[in-house]
Chain A
């Protein structure tokens, strides 16, 4: 290709692709150059993206923002010291999640925010959500749920075994219950009898079991085969093996599950990398969760965490961390209310605060395995160190991409159950 061609392609890529255009079906005869350039058809996808892109580009043109830790910490501390407004009733069945999101965000920003008093309150609240100290439901008197149990165990891991709370966890009951959720096809249902059977259930089950050291062949039987069937022609993973669309959340769940079982090699890794790389949006710089969908801060973890696990396994280069970091810092910080958000124009919330912070930590870290023994690797051998970044580092805790919690808490929790 001549340099003229490169310049032209460059011009098209940076200036024109994705711009709003009227549908052009008739080829213009006067100017074939323009005719080609005009080939972005205005559809819902393009109109929606155009709007987001405009808002992002405006913020991205500003100098790199700094993470406003004080503001974020203030909101999180406030949340743990006051009642939640009535509209939070929408999360009535996700109370273990709320606790995990807030506590984890605090731990990443500054572990001293999570005082012993708060830890005791967390422990008290979580055990109210369970009849027999595990498994856990979404709130008091609710049925046990695999996602609630996942969130509760993660939250307990942050509590430093205060008042010996880790010994209270009923591992036997959790193990038996996990087995009861196992499906013949290798997946797990989230709840009995009505629940979703998909890769999310698999990840929650394996995360819980590996943390509590209750993994068994019976639990993992058929799981690898199930996950293999969930990888799609695009390279990412869908919810089920029927061929659902590749999606950031499910791709994370599948990849983390494989890493827990040390079976990453059983899937098409190159395709997975290609899919992850394709999630980064050129103009917005952040990540989207599916092809032709909008950028969203939470995929900084779902897709960013997938890329981090790949990186630890020596599969480098599917993410431009510096660019993602810029999206997070310039576009995901909200000046009012809860600190971090999905994208400009949205309000912040606890879910996005947690996953955007996890993503930010990933963009400032390098991931690798401790030790050279590839056959006996466990997810607890994944370590990270600082990556040199532009301007001020955010100074968040190092996190483990498989479990989404700070590495220090993870190691302590894990060692407790060996």
Chain B
């Protein structure tokens, strides 16, 4: 545990504002503990002390100031050094995973208490890539699950999970994973985006995937996430006559209740050649009427269609 008594021999390194009486701009009124801990850490950084007590002090500093990236960088150097020491002590080939697991345990707990912080994720990445060749994807699952349970659109967690898949070259469960979130909230665009990025790594049959998104559109037609996903999927599958015809008929069913459906319908009409430039232009003019906040955009599309673009 952190005990300030362990640092009696360390001379605190003050900030300029602590030694001059000058009224510095936007000076933060640090509490006493913060001042003390940071001043000690600054000294230890300047002396490059990479020790167990430095790690304890560092933990306290990070708890007090989670976004303090200098402390995270210092922490990495300490762990790196302690690991080297341990390996030297135990001889080559010694497995120091337990040390790294302890560090990950600490990080997990810290993460749960600081869900909005994002230094944690790059720190984690650095640990896994540079120090921990024996890490496993499954060790990463619980913390990501908990975090996404708390905020199902947490950008950093989705991004980190994607990074993990690439790092561990494991993509097996990802489609099912996104389905869970899509079931919970069909509007969760993070889940849809994640799913899209996983398509090329999965063995899912694209026709089946098409049916999946069509079902979700049928469930709620006015949902930008699903229509965007359908558009992305179409680009991936290629615009065969048959597919365009299918999507033309499909989107037509919803044009009365969804501007997204209408836009898709206009695109399919153009692609299939069932409507000429003038017709498509008229469709976009109509969307401008039902979606007035974007009327300039739709009018632009209308003009383009009219000019045969």
A119 CB, nearest partner CB in chain B, Å: 10
Knowing A13-B291, A243-B196, A291-B228, the reply to whether A86 touches B122 (Cβ < 8 A) is no
Which DSSP category, helix, strand, loop or mixed, fits chain A's interface? loop
Tell me which residues from 135 to 177 in chain B have a Cβ below 8 Å from any Cβ of chain A. 152-153, 155, 158-159, 162-163, 166
CA distance A104 to B16 in the complex (A): 25
CA distance A91 to B186 in the complex (A): 36
Residue in chain B with minimal CB distance to A277 = B297
Interface pick from A220-228, A278-286, A333-341 = A278-286
Q: Does B36 contact A (CB under 8 A)?
A: no
Interface pick from B62-70, B83-91, B92-100, B270-278 = B62-70
- B229 contact set on A, CB distance < 8 A: 233
Knowing A44-B152, A80-B26, A83-B29, the reply to whether A233 touches B293 (Cβ < 8 A) is no
CA distance A93 to B119 in the complex (A): 12
- Total CB contacts across the A-B interface at under 8 A: 230
CA distance A246 to B224 in the complex (A): 13
Mark each residue of chain A from 49 to 69: 1 if its CB lies under 8 Å from any CB of chain B, else 0: 000000000000000000000
Which interface residue of B70, B162, B220 has the most chain A CB atoms within 10 A?
Answer: B70
Q: Does A89 contact B (CB under 8 A)?
A: yes
Mark each residue of chain B from 259 to 291: 1 if its CB lies under 8 Å from any CB of chain A, else 0: 100000000000000000000000000100111
Taking a contact as CB atoms under 8 Å apart, the answer to whether B153 and A293 are in contact is yes
Knowing A89-B28, A93-B69, A282-B291, the reply to whether A40 touches B222 (Cβ < 8 A) is yes
Taking a contact as CB atoms under 8 Å apart, the answer to whether A45 and B197 are in contact is no
Taking a contact as CB atoms under 8 Å apart, the answer to whether B197 and A13 are in contact is no
Taking a contact as CB atoms under 8 Å apart, the answer to whether A318 and B297 are in contact is yes
Q: Does A43 contact B (CB under 8 A)?
A: yes
Number of chain A residues whose Cβ lies closer than 8 Å to a Cβ of chain B: 88
CA distance A70 to B73 in the complex (A): 42
Which DSSP category, helix, strand, loop or mixed, fits chain B's interface? helix
Knowing A44-B152, A233-B235, the reply to whether A273 touches B189 (Cβ < 8 A) is no
Q: Does A176 contact B (CB under 8 A)?
A: no
- Of B67, B196, B295, the contact of A233 (CB 8 Å cutoff): B196
Taking a contact as CB atoms under 8 Å apart, the answer to whether A89 and B34 are in contact is yes
Q: Does B241 contact A (CB under 8 A)?
A: no
Residue in chain B with minimal CB distance to A276 = B297
- A124 contact set on B, CB distance < 8 A: 24-25
Residue in chain B with minimal CB distance to A45 = B187
Q: Does A110 contact B (CB under 8 A)?
A: no
Taking a contact as CB atoms under 8 Å apart, the answer to whether A239 and B232 are in contact is no
Knowing A143-B73, A239-B159, the reply to whether A99 touches B293 (Cβ < 8 A) is no
CA distance A6 to B66 in the complex (A): 53
Taking a contact as CB atoms under 8 Å apart, the answer to whether A243 and B162 are in contact is yes
B258 CB, nearest partner CB in chain A, Å: 8
- A102 contact set on B, CB distance < 8 A: 26
Q: Does B58 contact A (CB under 8 A)?
A: no
A191 CB, nearest partner CB in chain B, Å: 6
Knowing A84-B26, A245-B155, the reply to whether A292 touches B188 (Cβ < 8 A) is yes
CA distance A102 to B26 in the complex (A): 10
B11 CB, nearest partner CB in chain A, Å: 14
Mark each residue of chain A from 240 to 267: 1 if its CB lies under 8 Å from any CB of chain B, else 0: 1011111100000000000000000000
Taking a contact as CB atoms under 8 Å apart, the answer to whether B69 and A125 are in contact is no
A382 CB, nearest partner CB in chain B, Å: 21
Interface pick from A134-142, A164-172, A367-375, A394-402 = A134-142
Q: Does B7 contact A (CB under 8 A)?
A: no
- Of B118, B166, B185, B220, the contact of A242 (CB 8 Å cutoff): B166
Q: Does A46 contact B (CB under 8 A)?
A: yes
CA distance A239 to B162 in the complex (A): 12
B28 CB, nearest partner CB in chain A, Å: 5
CA distance A85 to B27 in the complex (A): 9
Taking a contact as CB atoms under 8 Å apart, the answer to whether B162 and A125 are in contact is no
Residue in chain B with minimal CB distance to A85 = B29
Interface pick from A192-200, A296-304, A351-359, A403-411 = A192-200
Residue in chain A with minimal CB distance to B152 = A44
B216 CB, nearest partner CB in chain A, Å: 10
Knowing A41-B220, A89-B34, the reply to whether A316 touches B300 (Cβ < 8 A) is yes
Q: Does B56 contact A (CB under 8 A)?
A: no
Taking a contact as CB atoms under 8 Å apart, the answer to whether B228 and A234 are in contact is yes
- Residue numbers of A with Cβ under 8 A of B are 1, 5-6, 8-10, 12-13, 17-18, 25, 36-37, 39-41, 43-46, 79-80, 83-86, 88-95, 98-99, 102, 118, 121-122, 124-125, 128, 137-138, 140-143, 145, 190-197, 232-234, 238-240, 242-247, 273-274, 277-278, 280-282, 285, 290-293, 316-320, 323
Closest 6 CB pairs of A and B: A243-B197, A233-B232, A45-B187, A317-B296, A245-B193, A291-B189
- Residue numbers of B with Cβ under 8 A of A are 13, 15-17, 24-31, 34, 42, 45, 64-70, 72-73, 76, 118-119, 121-123, 126, 130, 152-153, 155, 158-159, 162-163, 166, 184-190, 193-194, 196-197, 219-225, 228-229, 231-232, 235, 255-257, 259, 286, 289-297, 299-300
A88-B29, A91-B67, A232-B193 are known contacts; what are 17 more A-B pairs with Cβ within 8 Å?
A17-B222, A18-B222, A43-B188, A45-B185, A80-B26, A84-B26, A86-B31, A92-B28, A95-B26, A122-B25, A193-B126, A233-B196, A243-B193, A244-B159, A245-B194, A291-B228, A292-B223
Q: Can you report 25 A-B residue pairs in the complex whose CB atoms are below 8 A from each other?
A: A10-B290, A39-B219, A39-B221, A40-B220, A45-B187, A45-B188, A89-B34, A95-B26, A137-B70, A138-B69, A141-B45, A141-B70, A194-B76, A194-B126, A195-B69, A233-B196, A233-B235, A238-B193, A245-B189, A245-B193, A247-B155, A277-B297, A290-B190, A292-B223, A316-B300
